[in-house]
Structure 1
Amino acid sequence: MMTAVFSDSAVTDETRRTLLFQGEVFVYAASPATTELIKFTRELISEAFGDLDPETAQHEMPVEDFAKLLADLKPRFIHHPRCKELLPAVIEERGCDLGQTYFDVPRLRTSTSNDYLVSGISYAFHPHRDCWYSAPFSQVNWWIPVYDVVPENVMAFHPRYFDQPVRNGSAGYDYAEWNRTSRVSAASHVRSDTRVQPRPEEPIELEPQVRVVPEAGGTLMFSGAQLHSTVPNTSGRTRFSIDFRTVHLADVRAHRGAPNVDAECTGTTLRDFVRCNDLAAMPEELALDYEARALAGVS
């Protein structure tokens, strides 16, 4: 399959979602709302690292100290009330209906250079689809670099697999069980990561691949069904990025989204989503419907 990358496209959100569900990718330049978001994020990062340059601090700190710092910084960012104000502003700038669009908490991600820390709190993701992890097929992923990035420290898409099944371990993944046992232990995995996660169970051809390099504050949008991975970081600098996910209520109700070619997990992440305009929870009946469909093997 060929993937097209749309740059600063003026299409409507409905058209964009349709294209995303077909495997296309969208990228946007930094905007007032994303600039405010990364400004706030940089303030938290600078406060945590003190006099050290966050992008090069890995060269001056024992890895255990670096992991401990991230274990404090990342939850503070995720749960900071300011994020619940900034994210809807970012989403609104992209033409989304705030009364119909739901978002989950933003994650602050790090990718350290030269295998310094690639497990636990700074996990380097193998090729995967988010829908292997119980994400709905209507999910749209948003990715925003906090500082400038280069091809050697971004993520890679593997578009030939968008509509091609990959044998994987998603059948053994249950989202509720992951939240109960594995998510809370992330910071304890420093030298290696023993948590069982869905991954390919057959060889994956990583080339050809697509790497998109937005400016700091730029936004990359793609379907949660895209097969993507963390690029082995050889840049010499730690990459900091923000990601979060959205779903549109009409898509969730209609089970409209990308095709399910190989996900067999159970549970759903839908309860993590709140409505942009008032932070109301996703209707419980929709989460129950998705769980029932997952157990029945229906996407």
Structure 2
Amino acid sequence: MMTAVFSNSAVPDDRRRELLYQGEVFVYSASPATTELVGFARELIEDAFGGRDPETAQHDMDVEEFAKLLADLKPRFIHHPECKRLLPMVVAERGCDLGQTYFDVPRLRTSTSDDYLVSGISYAFHPHRDCWYSAPFSQVNWWLPIYPVVPENVMAFHPKYFDRPVRNGSAGYDYAEWNRTSRLSAAAHVRSDTRVQPRPEEPIELEPQVRVVPEAGGLLMFSGAQLHSTVPNTSGRTRFSIDFRTVHLGDVRARRGAPNVDARCTGTTLRDFVRCADLAPMPEDLALDYEAAALAGVS
């Protein structure tokens, strides 16, 4: 299929989600809320690097020291109360219903240049769908660069596979087991990463691909069912970005979303989501229903 990229589209959220579930991509310019979120992230990052330029510090730091710094910085950002205030503002700017839209914690991502650190705390993602990792098919991914990015350090979409199955290892992935045994050990994987993660088990044609290069604070939205990967960073600079995910409660209940062409994982990430309006948790009955469906092999 061919993926269309919608720039600063004014379509309402209900229609936008339909298009996202069909494989389209949306990109928006920096806004007051995304600028505030990125500014907050920069404060934490620059404080952690103590006067070094975060984008070039990898050239002056031992890789173990760099990984240790990220192991402290990333959880501090993820769990900071300010993020719970700012993310609903970003979602509201895009016209989403805050009473129906749920979000998970934002991740602070790094992609270092020239294979400096590509495992563990700064994992360079192989081609994958988030749905291989127990994400619901109604999941929408939101991605924002913190500093300016270039085609050599963003992510790539592989749209020919949106509705085409890829043989993969998702059948061996259990989200509850991952949380119990693997998530907290990321910082220990510096030179290599031995954690078992779903990946393609057949050759993937990486071309043609789509790379979107938003401005710093610009916003990229795409379906969690998109096959995407980390571009091998050859820019000479570490890329810092924020991503988080949303689901619409009505879509979760109605099982509206992108098609499941090849995911066979166990469990669900739905319990990670809280309501934008008041931080109420996702209703437990929905998580239980999704877990039961996964065990039964029903999407």
Asked if 1:166 is matched to 2:141, the reply is no
Equivalent-residue separation in structure 1 for 2:95 and 2:63 (angstroms):
41
Using structure 2 for the length normalisation, give the TM-score. Answer: 1.00
User: Shift in Å at residue 168 of structure 1?
Assistant: 0.1
RMSD between aligned residues = 0.2
| Amino acid corresponding to residue 161 of structure 2 in structure 1 | Y
User: Shift in Å at residue 121 of structure 1?
Assistant: 0.0
Equivalent-residue separation in structure 2 for 1:203 and 1:29 (angstroms):
35
Equivalent-residue separation in structure 1 for 2:284 and 2:259 (angstroms):
23
Aligned match of 1:219: 219
SS at 1:221 equivalent: strand
User: Shift in Å at residue 51 of structure 1?
Assistant: 1.2
Equivalent-residue separation in structure 2 for 1:256 and 1:295 (angstroms):
19
| Amino acid corresponding to residue 284 of structure 2 in structure 1 | E
| Amino acid corresponding to residue 291 of structure 1 in structure 2 | E
Aligned match of 2:265: 265
Percent identical: 87
Q: How does 1:7-46 map to 2 (within 5 A)?
A: 7-46=7-46
Equivalent-residue separation in structure 1 for 2:203 and 2:282 (angstroms):
37
SS at 1:143 equivalent: strand
| Amino acid corresponding to residue 228 of structure 2 in structure 1 | H
| Amino acid corresponding to residue 160 of structure 2 in structure 1 | R
User: Shift in Å at residue 251 of structure 1?
Assistant: 0.3
Aligned match of 1:76: 76
| Amino acid corresponding to residue 110 of structure 2 in structure 1 | T
SS at 1:82 equivalent: helix
Aligned match of 1:206: 206
SS at 2:186 equivalent: helix
Using structure 1 for the length normalisation, give the TM-score. Answer: 1.00
Aligned match of 1:87: 87
Asked if 1:236 is matched to 2:257, the reply is no
- Structure 1's consecutive aligned runs of 4 or more residues displaced over 4 angstroms after TM superposition are none
SS at 2:256 equivalent: coil
Equivalent-residue separation in structure 1 for 2:28 and 2:51 (angstroms):
32
Equivalent-residue separation in structure 2 for 1:47 and 1:169 (angstroms):
39
Structure 2, gaps ≥5 residues long: none
Give deviations 1:175-194, integer Å, cap 9, x for gaps: 00000000010000000000
Give deviations 1:253-285, integer Å, cap 9, x for gaps: 000000000000000000000000100000000
